[in-house]
Structure 1
């Protein structure tokens, strides 16, 4: 996964805007924010735009079963 900050600074007070690029088969670590969830891509590249008001941080699980690369749906057939 690649991340770029487009505006502001997520670690400081105020507005921020980031973009995350997930190559095919790459997922983020599961993280809670009102409910355990994760971000990522299955068979195609995915871009995720995130905006918010900082400071912010991500509390991730150390060893989630769903972290890392996932098998392609095409290759598992």
Structure 2
């Protein structure tokens, strides 16, 4: 629940960048090599359309293996959590 609020919040790109810089991202099951720049670009384009958090989360994924790892984690197992 809280992660979905972070992803669509006003400071999402800055918070995600900080999470990756501090090493917190791996502890909350975000992709290890998250593409924060791509997240920022999509967040900037979509912010007026109120995107689903899952769309923004998917923008952090760089590879198929990262997507599979994200899908296997318990905290993001179902998109209904968003």
TM-score, with length taken from structure 1: 0.25
TM-score, with length taken from structure 2: 0.25
Q: Which has the higher helix share?
A: 2
Larger Rg: 1
Q: Which has the higher strand share?
A: 1
